Each structure stands twice: as C-alpha cells, then as structure tokens.
Amino acid sequence: MSSIISVIDDDPSVRLATNNLLTSRGYTVHTFGSAHEFLQSAELETTGCVITDVQMSAMSGVELLTHMRGLGHITPFIFMTAFPDEAVRDRALRAGATCFLAKPFSTPALIQCLEAALSDPGAATM
C-alpha cells in the first residue's frame, strides 16, 4: 500500500496543517483544494489514502468517495468535518470510509486512522 496521502479540503489552513503533520511523520502528501482538482491529478492513481473534508463546494467528500468507488478505486478514505452529524457519518461509513473524525481532532486519532487505512484498506473505525 502506498504511503502517498492526498489531503482534500477547501480550507487552506487545514490543508497546510495536515500536510505539515503528515510530512513530519514521513508521509508523502499532496494537497488539493477541491474534489475536482484531485480527480484531475496524477495522484488519483498513486494515492494510498485520501483524507478529505465532508463539506466542500461542488462535490462533497462523500460524493467523491462514491464517485471513486464507481470508477473502481478502492482507495481508503478518512473523513474530517467541523459539523459532525450522525446521518452523514453513517452514510460515509456505509459508502466505505475508514474513519470519520470531528474537527478539531487529535494527532493520535488521525495517525491511528491513517495507520489502519494503510494496513487494512477495508477496515472501518471511529
């Protein structure tokens, strides 16, 4: 499983902070401001895990996951959101998300989700 991580969030500060955290842990990170930007990138084929915001303009994180599954990609997804909602959480997990984290989340929680996603892409936690 690739240790290339794609972080997709329309908030530049979240992208930067997540990038800095994961880079400091030895991961190769690519950041994107939208789902469409990610879908048009070369990283679509090389990403080992997607970390994405739930609520984004144009295409939500859950819509991105559903779209990628429709294309045949089994890339693990970790969702993060400032607006935790049980219905959205359940929808994301049913669609195949590995983790669902409420912002602000702890570094250990994110790393635990990432390690689980990279070691067993089919496992769902949190």
pLDDT digits (tens, 9 = 90+) for 86-98: 888 898 888 889 9
pLDDT digits (tens, 9 = 90+) for 39-83: 999 999 999 999 999 999 899 999 999 999 999 999 999 999 888
Give the DSSP H or E segment for 117: helix 107-119
Predicted TM-score (pTM) of this structure: 0.91
Scored b (16 or more CB within 10 A) or e, 69-103 reads: eeeeeebbbbbbbeeeeeebbebbbebbbbbbbbe
Higher pLDDT, 51 or 85: 51
Report whether pLDDT(28) > 70.
Answer: yes
Question: Is 9 strand, coil or helix?
Answer: coil
